[in-house]
A and B are shown apart, each in its own frame.
Chain A
Amino acid sequence: MTEARKNSLTDKLVIIVWIIALIIVWEIGASVVEKTKRSPQNVLPHLSQIVESVFSDKMVSNKQTAFQIVITNAGITLLRAGIGFLYGAGAGFLLALAMHRFITVEKATFPYLMMIQMIPILGMAPIVLAITQDINKSRIIIAAILTFYPVATNMLDGLKSVEKEKYDLMRSLAASNWNIYTKLLIPTSIPYIFSGLKIAAPMAITASILVDTLQGGAGLGTMLSQSLKHAMSIYVFWQIVFFSATVGILSYKLMSFAEKIFSPHERAKGAR
């Protein structure tokens, strides 16, 4: 117990040291940039300037402050990223089951899934947009495509990891396929599914932001590029950078938390 506590303390210390180091490097960089450039806030503003802009009342466009812009547009982007993520997770789950149940499905789909995964999202997004003619649907579809693959492949690995004796046990009980899947195969693959979800969650968010940039209107990506083009305060850009990074990390943490809910025996390990 003391050993475990010592370890978690060390972990926290490492994180704190990293954050402090990053802040120092950032601030040194900002000070250097400040002296050389005419508009240093475009290249590397001081962290204090960014924080200040978050709490500033100054309207930067359409009667909104910089932070209000970030929050309203984040809602538009993240909601679609979330919906796409759920669709993708569901489709990945079902396809993994189908690939495991029918070897022909695996042979027929698996190599092509990998190919879809190799097309850069930057190339795929305009095609999806051209087909759907709708930016919201495109956000959802791209997020779903990105989520779907890691969930399907990881879950398939999980389904294949079941030991022979566990099958023998089920067979000796004359268990139905339904029982074999619900009591053995799916529970075994839960940690694998969550590995996939943890990879996919931040990716779905990044991809949705990228899809935003394809069309004007709204969304974090649109604001990002407008801010870069000086259509509005550059601090919108910096706020979005930090905001997106934070949300990406939180999405990962959310998946870890959900995994703990689904695996009580892992919680028991932690509590020991």
Chain B
Amino acid sequence: MANANETEINIKGLCVNFPDKDNGGDIQALKDVNLAIKEGSFVSLLGPSGCGKTTLLRSIADLQDISSGIISVKGKTPKETRLSQQYGIVFQSPVLYEWRTVRRNICMPMEVIGLPKEERTRRVDEVLELVGLTEFGRKYPHQLSGGMQQRVGIARALALDPEILLMDEPFSALDEFTKEKLQIDLLSIWQKTKKTILFVTHNIQESVFLSDDVVVLSPHPGRVSAVVNIGLKRPRDLAIRETAEFAALVSKVRHSFEGIYE
């Protein structure tokens, strides 16, 4: 199982530049990012729009070319890690195939890598139970609520049992009640599966509530301005949000942003 002291993802001097269409130069999306993410930890990438948090996630996922620097996932490059299907990705929208049932949506990654049918059925049952959708396997996406669709997205990301779960603002489109329920459920899934989770969000409370570490990113250029360790006890419940400790951490995170609140 996961060794809490081992580094899973190591990032050194990462820079990502985008070509600037207006004046021909480059826009620095990420500048000199250094980061170490421990195996089995829950880490949030927090920041306002334009701070490069999604770019950072996409760079780790090998969905984005980097300009310079090194990303190492247990000694492997992001590309090697992607090709060995060690990333499970959850997007902001559920990105489900509307012509497939819930079960077949979750099956899709397993079909792609060619798992035998019995194995697929077994895994689908397993992850459906994990996200609490056992009753809904035969439904089509349009027959589910937004929160349930996002659960299917999480189940699909877990289908291949990847090392790392990359989540790009997965709850930002949901209403407050659904969001809280999914946060609690995500923590319980994380505790059961021992995945390393990278969670992009622009919500300070959400990042403090979920994470072991909150990586605070500031914009123009996108850079890491602080890494705040969240020492709150586990397992956490919603009541923890009303404690003074929680409020202090939220305020500490808020004050770590550079050049935003001046």
Given A265-B140, A265-B142: A173 and B95 interface contact (C-beta under 8 Å): no
B95 & A268 in contact (Cβ 8 Å cutoff): no
Once bound together, how far apart are the Cα atoms of A123 and B123, in whole Å? 61
Which B residues are closer than 8 A to A by beta carbons? 61-63, 82-85, 87-89, 91, 93, 95, 97-100, 108-109, 111-113, 139-143, 160
Number of A-B contacts (CB under 8 A): 63
For A191, give the chain B residue with the smallest CB separation: B99
Once bound together, how far apart are the Cα atoms of A173 and B160, in whole Å? 9
Once bound together, how far apart are the Cα atoms of A263 and B98, in whole Å? 10
For A179, give the chain B residue with the smallest CB separation: B112
Give me the 9 closest cross-chain CB pairs, A-B, nearest first.
Answer: A265-B140, A165-B95, A175-B112, A174-B83, A165-B91, A173-B112, A268-B140, A172-B89, A265-B99
B82 & A183 in contact (Cβ 8 Å cutoff): no
| Chain A, interface residues (CB within 8 Å), range | 20 to 34
Once bound together, how far apart are the Cα atoms of A268 and B61, in whole Å? 35
A190 & B99 in contact (Cβ 8 Å cutoff): yes
- Residues on the A chain within 8 Å of B139, using CB: 268
Given A174-B82, A187-B99, A265-B140: A168 and B89 interface contact (C-beta under 8 Å): yes
Once bound together, how far apart are the Cα atoms of A183 and B105, in whole Å? 11
A272 & B112 in contact (Cβ 8 Å cutoff): no
B91 & A168 in contact (Cβ 8 Å cutoff): yes
- Residues on the B chain within 8 Å of A83, using CB: none
B143 & A268 in contact (Cβ 8 Å cutoff): yes
Scan A170-183; emit 1 where CB is below 8 A from any B CB, else 0: 11111110010001
**Does A35 have its Cβ within 8 Å of any Cβ on chain B?**
no
A172 & B95 in contact (Cβ 8 Å cutoff): no
**Does A12 have its Cβ within 8 Å of any Cβ on chain B?**
no
Given A265-B140, A269-B142: A173 and B109 interface contact (C-beta under 8 Å): yes
- Residues on the A chain within 8 Å of B143, using CB: 268, 272
Complex A-B: 28 CB contacts under 8 Å: A163-B95, A165-B93, A165-B95, A166-B95, A168-B61, A169-B89, A171-B62, A171-B63, A173-B85, A173-B109, A174-B82, A174-B85, A174-B112, A174-B113, A175-B112, A176-B112, A179-B111, A179-B112, A183-B97, A183-B111, A183-B112, A187-B99, A264-B99, A265-B98, A265-B99, A265-B100, A268-B143, A272-B143
Once bound together, how far apart are the Cα atoms of A172 and B86, in whole Å? 9
Scan A184-226; emit 1 where CB is below 8 A from any B CB, else 0: 1001001000000000000000000000000000000000000
Once bound together, how far apart are the Cα atoms of A187 and B62, in whole Å? 26
B203 to chain A, nearest CB (A): 21
- Residues on the A chain within 8 Å of B88, using CB: 172
Once bound together, how far apart are the Cα atoms of A41 and B177, in whole Å? 73
A267 to chain B, nearest CB (A): 9
B61 & A183 in contact (Cβ 8 Å cutoff): no
Once bound together, how far apart are the Cα atoms of A207 and B66, in whole Å? 56
For A265, give the chain B residue with the smallest CB separation: B140
- Residues on the A chain within 8 Å of B84, using CB: 174
The SS class assigned to the B binding surface is: loop
B117 to chain A, nearest CB (A): 16
Once bound together, how far apart are the Cα atoms of A169 and B112, in whole Å? 11
B63 & A172 in contact (Cβ 8 Å cutoff): yes
Once bound together, how far apart are the Cα atoms of A172 and B61, in whole Å? 7
For A184, give the chain B residue with the smallest CB separation: B97
A25 to chain B, nearest CB (A): 42
For B113, give the chain A residue with the smallest CB separation: A173
For A163, give the chain B residue with the smallest CB separation: B95
Since A173-B85, A174-B113 are in contact, a sample of 17 more A-B pairs with Cβ atoms closer than 8 Å, ordered by chain A residue number, is A165-B91, A165-B95, A169-B95, A172-B61, A173-B109, A173-B113, A174-B83, A174-B85, A174-B112, A179-B112, A183-B108, A184-B97, A187-B97, A187-B99, A265-B142, A268-B139, A272-B143
Once bound together, how far apart are the Cα atoms of A175 and B111, in whole Å? 10
For A176, give the chain B residue with the smallest CB separation: B112
Once bound together, how far apart are the Cα atoms of A29 and B37, in whole Å? 84
Interface centre among A170, A172, A174, A175 (most CB of B within 10 A): A172
Interface centre among A168, A169, A183 (most CB of B within 10 A): A169
- Residues on the B chain within 8 Å of A174, using CB: 82-85, 112-113
For B162, give the chain A residue with the smallest CB separation: A172
Once bound together, how far apart are the Cα atoms of A168 and B91, in whole Å? 10
Interface centre among A166, A175, A184, A265 (most CB of B within 10 A): A265
Once bound together, how far apart are the Cα atoms of A183 and B110, in whole Å? 12
Once bound together, how far apart are the Cα atoms of A174 and B160, in whole Å? 12
Once bound together, how far apart are the Cα atoms of A66 and B113, in whole Å? 62
Once bound together, how far apart are the Cα atoms of A175 and B108, in whole Å? 10
